[in-house]
Structure 1
Amino acid sequence: RIVPVAPMTTRLLLLSNGHGEDLIAMRIIEALQLQARELGISELEISVLALVGEGKSFGKLKNVQCLGPLQRLPSGGFSNQSFWALLKDLWAGLGPLSLAQIRSIRRWCKQGDGAVLAVGDLLPLILAWGSGRSYGFIGTPKSDYTWSSGPGRNPLADAYHRLKGSEWDPWEWTLMARPNCRLVVCRDPLTARGLRRHGVAALAPGNPMLDGFEIQPVPLALSKLQRVLLLPGSRCPEALENLKRLLISLAQPVAPTSRVLLLACGASPAAAELEPLFAALGYHSTVIPLGSKAQGAWQGPAGLLLLGTRLFPTWAPWAQVGVACAGTATEQLVGIGCAVLSLAGPGPQFTLGFAKRQSRLLGGAVRVCRKGPELQRALELLLQSPALQLELGRIGRQRMGPPGGSAAIATLIKEQLLTNCDVQISNRNANDPALKTPECI
C-alpha cells in the first residue's frame, strides 16, 4: 500500500515518444496545472522532452520548460515499422540524437529532486528507469484487445500473446514492476488485468485522447450535406501523398454539391503545401459562408473541400464517416463514435500492416481498404447505412473507453508519483482489490 512520508515534490519531467504521445502528455499537463491552481500550488515545475519530432504540441502550454535536443527524423518515429526506416533514421543522426537526449535527462536530474513520467512504449520507459528517480509510465500503444478479438486474426501471434498473457513483453513489465515505478496506466481495463498477472499494479482510469472535443451544433448549411472527415496524417511528405491518394479515390459521380470533405490538419501539412496539390487534382478556390471556421474552401471532383487547421476537435463530432491515413486522430474519431475507413499506403507510418493492427485494436470500427475503388464502395455503403454507422461507432466507443482520463491520471500522478512514498510492489499486493478501484473512474 502507499504510505505518504514526505511532502509533494514540485518537479516533474515528462518523456514522450510520438505525436499521439505528445497529445496525451499535453492533456495530462493541462489537467495537472488546473488541479495545482485549484489546490493553491504555485511552485509546480513541469519539463517535457519530446523524444520524437519537434514537440510542437507543447508550444501552446504555459509555464512548461521544453528540453532538447529536438529533431524530425525520416520515419517520423516509426523506425520500428521496417528495417529500412531504421536505417534512414540512423543515417539522419538517430544515434547522436539519443545520446544527447540522455544527457539532457541527466542534467535535469542533477538540478534537484523530482519524478519522471514516461508516455509511450519501451524507449521512454527505459529512460525513466535509467534516470534513477521515481517514475511513472503511461503505456499508450499496446492493448490486449489487439490479440484477444477483432478482424484479421493471426494464430501464431495470438498464441504468443496468449502464452504471455499480455500484449506487453517480459522486459517491459519487469521495468513496470520495479519498486521505484510508482504508477502504471494502461489504455483499457483488459490490458491492465493482463499486467497485474505479472505483478504490475496497472490501472486504467480513462483515455486522455478523448478529452478536449468541442461539441457544437452542425452549421445548418453543412447539416444538409454528407459530411466526410479526411485525416491524411501529420508527417510530411507522407501526409501529402496520403491526401493525394484519398482525393483521387473519393472522386465521385454524384452531384458535387451533395458532399463536403472536412480536411482536418494540424500544423503540418500547411496550407501553402496543400494548395499546389489541390490545383493539380482539379480543385479551384471558392468562397462559401458555411459558418465552419474553415481556413479555405475548394470545389473539385470529390465535392466541396474545406480546410481546417487545428479544427479537428470541432469538426470531428460533425462527421458522419471518417476517411483516414492517421494513427492517433483515427483512434480519437472512433472513440467519439464515428465509423472510419482507412486506405493503406507505402508508409513509413501508415502501411497495410499498421492499418490492420489498428483495425483489430479497434474491433473493426475502422475498416481497412486496399485500393481506391474499394474505399469508394465502402464509403457509399456507410453513408447510406445510418444503422451500420451507429454499430461501428458503438464498437469504437467500447474499445477506446470513456473520456475524463486526463483529470483522473493527473490525480494519480499527484497521489502516487509526486508524493514521496515508500512503494513496494509484489505479486501479492498487485492483486489487492484496492489497486483495481481506479479502473472505474
Structure 2
Amino acid sequence: MKPILIVSNGHGEDTIGVALGKALAALGYGVEAVPLVGRGLAYEEAGFAVWGPRKEMPSGGFALQSPKALWADLRSGWFSMSLAHYRAVRWVARQALATLVVGDIYALLVGGLLGRRPLFLVQCRSTLRALGRPYSVTERLLMRRAMRVYPREPEGEAWLRARGVGQAVWLGNPMLDAVGEGSFGVPPPYLLLLPGSRQDAYESLPKMLEAARLLGDLGLKPVVAWAGLPLEPLPLLGWRLEATGERQGVTHRLCHPDGTIAYLARGLLKSLLLGSRVAVSTSGTAAEQAAGYGVPLVGFPTSGPQYTRAFAEGQKRLLGAALLLVEPSPSAIAQGVRRFLFSPKMQAQARSDGRAAMGEPGAAQRIALDLHRFLM
C-alpha cells in the first residue's frame, strides 16, 4: 500500500506523529515522515522511514521569536536546509496516499502546498484556552484545503466551524498517546525533571539538578526525561556523567559527591509519569502530557528559545493549577516542589485542571480511524 506522509515541525509534534503513525500502521498503512525541526529521532526509533535533512537549528524551531534567533538560524544554513525539506516532501508525496500534517501554520503551509492530497491536519499546538484567538486568517484559509482538521480541544472545533472551517472535528488530544511504554527499571517515587527538547535544556537542567539536591530529604528519585539533545554541551559542575550503555530506559547516571544520583532516561515516559509525585519542567509537550496524567508541575522561565516567560505564562493559562511558576533559582524550584507535596488541596486541584485541559487518552486511535474512513 502507498504510504501516508507525515509532516511535523517540533520534537513534541514528532512524538505525536509517531503515536498517529503507529495507529495508522495498525490499520495496515505504511508511514513515512519529513520532520521540519530537529533530527526526527522519534520516527527513527519507531521504525518509520525519515526523509530530509536531520539537523538541529540554534532556535530549535522558534526562529520567529526574535531577530537574534532568526539570524542564528540563517547563519547555520536554515535556507538550504528548508529547500531540502521541501524537496523531500515533494519526493515522498509522489508515491504517497495522503498527507498528515502535525503542527502549526508552517507545517501546514509546507504539507498543504507540497504534500499529496487528501490533506489532514492535527493542530496540537494552538489553544483557545491559552491564546483566546489562536488561528490567524491565513492559517484558517490553509485549513480549508484539508479534508479534516483535528484541533486539540473541543472549543477549537466550535471556534473554527464558526469561522468557515467546517471540516474541523475534535476527537481528543493525541498528546496523551505519545508516551513511550515499558518497564523503567528504577522503582518510584520519582522527582521528574523535564528540561525540554530545545537549547533551554542546557540552561535549565543544571538548576533542576541543584534543586533535586535540596530536596534529598523527601525520598524522591530524580529522573531526567532527556529528549535526545547532545550531552557534550551540558554544563555539569560537580556532577559526574556515567553512561550505562543502554539506548532506552536509563542511558546515563548523574552522580554528585554528596551522594545524590539522578537517572537520565530516554523513552518510557508513561512509566515515569505514573511513578512521579511532581515534575519540574521547562518543556512544552512533555509538561502538558504530565499534567494530563495528573502530575503537578513546577516551571520556571529560561532565556529561550522556547520556555521564555511569555511561553511559560501561556502554558500556565492552559494548565491552570497544574502548573506552578517560580523564579529560575534552585531554592525557588525546591520551595515550589515542597508546596505541592505538602498540600493535598494543591495536588487535587492540579490533577483536576490538568485533566480538564488535556482530555482522555485514545485520541490517536480515534483520529486514525476517522482518517481511514476517508481513504477506504
- Normalised to the residue count of structure 2, the TM-score between the two structures is 0.88
AA in 1 matched with 2:197: S
Note if 1:242 corresponds to 2:204. yes
Equivalent residue for 1:233?
Answer: 196
The alpha carbon displacement at 1:264 in A equals 1.9
AA in 1 matched with 2:225: A
AA in 1 matched with 2:150: V
Note if 1:202 corresponds to 2:168. yes
Q: Residues 241 and 252 of structure 2 are in contact (CA less than 8 Å); yes or no, is this contact kept in structure 1? A: no
The alpha carbon displacement at 1:346 in A equals 0.9
* Structure 2: segments with no counterpart, 5+ residues: none
Equivalent residue for 1:193?
Answer: 158
Looking at structure 2, the residues matched to 54 and 217 of structure 1 have their Cα atoms a distance apart, in angstroms, of 24
Identity %: 31
Counterpart secondary structure, 1:411: helix
Moved more, 124-133 or 331-340: 124-133
Count of residue pairs brought into register by the alignment: 367
Note if 1:365 corresponds to 2:322. yes
Equivalent residue for 1:51?
Answer: 36
The alpha carbon displacement at 1:294 in A equals 7.3
Note if 1:414 corresponds to 2:376. no
Counterpart secondary structure, 2:27: helix
AA in 2 matched with 1:341: V
Which of 99, 110, 122 lines up with 1:138 in the alignment? 122
Q: Residues 250 and 302 of structure 1 are in contact (CA less than 8 Å); yes or no, is this contact kept in structure 2? A: no
Equivalent residue for 1:61?
Answer: 46
Equivalent residue for 1:399?
Answer: 357
Looking at structure 1, the residues matched to 241 and 120 of structure 2 have their Cα atoms a distance apart, in angstroms, of 50
Equivalent residue for 1:320?
Answer: 277
Correspondence list, 1:24-423, <5 A: 24-36=16-28, 44-62=29-47, 64-109=48-93, 111-112=94-95, 114-131=97-114, 133-147=117-131, 161=133, 167-178=134-145, 181-200=146-165, 201-211=167-177, 212=179, 214=181, 222-223=188-189, 227-236=190-199, 238-252=200-214, 256=217, 258-270=219-231, 277=236, 280-281=237-238, 295-296=252-253, 298-299=255-256, 303-372=260-329, 373-416=331-374, 418-419=375-376
Change (3 A) 1:255 1:98: closer
Change (3 A) 1:247 1:170: same
Deviations 1:53-103 (A, max 9, x none): 1111111233x3221123211111111222211111111111122222222
* Structure 1 residue ranges (4+ consecutive) displaced by more than 6 angstroms after TM superposition: 215-219
Change (3 A) 1:99 1:323: same
AA in 1 matched with 2:102: V
Looking at structure 1, the residues matched to 69 and 304 of structure 2 have their Cα atoms a distance apart, in angstroms, of 9
* Structure 1: segments with no counterpart, 5+ residues: 1-8, 37-43, 149-160, 162-166, 420-441
Pick 1 or 2: higher relative contact order, CA cutoff 8 A, min separation 6.
1
Change (3 A) 1:214 1:103: closer
Tell me which structure has the larger Cα radius of gyration: 1
Looking at structure 2, the residues matched to 314 and 141 of structure 1 have their Cα atoms a distance apart, in angstroms, of 24
Q: Residues 145 and 191 of structure 1 are in contact (CA less than 8 Å); yes or no, is this contact kept in structure 2? A: no
- Normalised to the residue count of structure 1, the TM-score between the two structures is 0.76
